[in-house]
């Protein structure tokens, strides 16, 4: 999923540190913590690093509950960082296309920033052409979350929590949200979401990591399989038409492995309207039962790294990094060019709140929203 303009978070500015952060072990085995800077209003941002018994590492910030580093081995056992991001807080606060962030209240697009719920119409920020995207101007990706290492039989874990107050970014109700990241002994990054509300409200959470299993260069040579026979076609502003369309005999078909770049040129988009083409589409997963099921498999042939994604969600948004344009300098000074990373956002369909035929994203008092997505890593 793209962002058309990089919107800095005006109410949080970077406080530079004159020394490198010092990692400290927590009371939970495999979890370490360090300071990562402060916001303008004095909120400390912390970095939590999970390390499993095989040496895999996942680093997550309290800012945006975002994955800033994910180190997994190649076929020779060499660890490499496979997600895009920045070395310091300043990079994130200056504005970025949601690198690694937890997205909410509602991931993806809402047409014209409006929806009607229980007879009342709500107006949201227009931050993506004529539409609302990824929770608004200051969604969950720009908030400082509370963090708590937790004991887990599956592996080192950290729970991130945030209360979104009634009216935040135009959404109704106080929403209490938690995201638990676990790095399991089976080399999985497991992400578990939960939310409760005191008033009916739409909720659709996801993680927005940009992956590159090669650790650099572009992602066009990655082999991709998506377990989906249908997708949701969109209009020129990337809002679904409401139809579910077969992927058969089209560049959308990843039911069998295809290189990401193999047919990408066929998706020309509409550059005059701000759509440079490439993949930015929601796939309707074959499972669709709410149970944890296979969704995606990605293989990078040179490194041998493989990532499999399992999810309880009905859809996955595949985005091929079309809007990266070389203006962002990331970790180690690397410039992120077009197609430097891809996203696979497991969630409900775009504009579901305005599409009665799509699975509902309305959460009501007394109910609990849950979502689980697992990224499993291996080599071949």
What's the rounded Cα separation, in Å, for the pair 35 and 44? Answer: 7
258 is catalytic: no
SS (H, E, C) the chain: CCCCCCCCCCCCCCECCCCCCCCEECCCCCEEEEEEEECCCCCEEEEEEEECCCCCEEEEECECCCEEEEEEECCCCCEEECECCCCCHHHHHCCCCCCCCEECCECCEEHHHEEEECCEEEECCCCECCEEECCCCCCHHHCECEEEEECCCCCCEEEEEEEECCCHHHCCCCEEEEEEEEECCCCEEEEEEEEEECCCEECECEECCCECCCCCCCCCCCEEEECCCEECCECCCCCECCCCEECCCCCCCCCCCEECCCCHHHCCCEHHHCECCCCEEEEECCCCCCCCEEEEEEECCCCCEEEEEEECCCEEEEECCCCCCCCCECHHHCECCCCCCEEEEEECCCCHHHCCCCCCCEECCCCCEEEEEEEEEEEC
Alpha carbon 122 to its chain's center? 25
What's the rounded Cα separation, in Å, for the pair 45 and 63? Answer: 6
Take residue 149 and report the two structure tokens written for it: 């290492």
96 is catalytic: no
Of the candidates 320, 319, 83, which has an alpha carbon nearest to the alpha carbon of residue 214?
A: 83
What's the rounded Cα separation, in Å, for the pair 137 and 5? Answer: 11
What's the rounded Cα separation, in Å, for the pair 281 and 231? Answer: 7
Catalytic residue among 96, 132, 134, 208: 208
Catalytic positions = 208, 345
């Amino acid at each position: 999923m793209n962002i058309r303009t990089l919107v800095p978070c005006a109410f949080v500015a970077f406080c530079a540190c004159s020394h490198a952060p010092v990692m400290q072990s927590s009371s939970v085995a495999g979890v370490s913590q360090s300071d990562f800077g402060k916001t303008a209003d004095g909120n400390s941002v912390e970095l939590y690093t999970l390390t499993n018994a095989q040496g895999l590492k996942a680093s997550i910030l309290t800012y945006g509950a975002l994955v800033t580093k994910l180190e997994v081995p190649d076929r020779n056992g060499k660890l490499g960082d496979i997600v895009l991001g920045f070395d310091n807080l300043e990079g994130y606060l200056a504005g970025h296309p949601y690198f690694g962030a937890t997205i909410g209240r509602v991931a993806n697009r809402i047409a014209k920033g409006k929806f009607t719920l229980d007879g009342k119409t709500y107006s949201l920020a227009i931050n993506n052409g004529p539409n609302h995207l990824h929770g608004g101007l200051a969604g969950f990706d720009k908030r400082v979350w509370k963090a708590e290492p937790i004991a887990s039989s599956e592996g080192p874990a950290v729970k991130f929590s945030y209360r979104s107050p009634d009216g935040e970014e135009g959404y109704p109700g106080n929403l209490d949200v938690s995201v638990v990241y676990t790095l399991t002994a089976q080399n999985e990054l497991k992400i578990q979401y939960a939310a409760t509300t005191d008033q009916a409200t739409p909720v659709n959470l996801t993680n927005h990591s940009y992956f590159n299993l090669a650790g650099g260069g572009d992602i066009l040579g990655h082999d991709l399989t998506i377990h989906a026979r249908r997708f949701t076609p969109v209009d020129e502003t990337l809002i679904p038409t409401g139809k579910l369309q077969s992927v058969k005999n089209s560049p959308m078909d990843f039911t069998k492995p295809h290189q990401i770049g193999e047919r990408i040129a066929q998706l020309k988009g509409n550059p005059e309207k701000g759509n440079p083409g490439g993949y930015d589409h929601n796939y309707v997963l074959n499972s669709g039962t709410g149970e944890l099921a296979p969704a995606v498999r990605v293989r990078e042939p040179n490194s041998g790294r493989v990532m499999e994604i399992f999810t309880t969600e009905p859809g996955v948004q595949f985005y091929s990094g079309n809007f990266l344009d070389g203006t962002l300098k990331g970790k180690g000074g690397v410039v992120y060019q077009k197609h430097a990373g891809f996203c696979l956002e497991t969630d409900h369909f775009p504009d579901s709140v305005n599409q009665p035929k799509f699975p509902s994203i309305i959460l009501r008092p007394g109910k609990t929203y849950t979502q689980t997505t697992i990224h499993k890593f291996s080599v071949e």
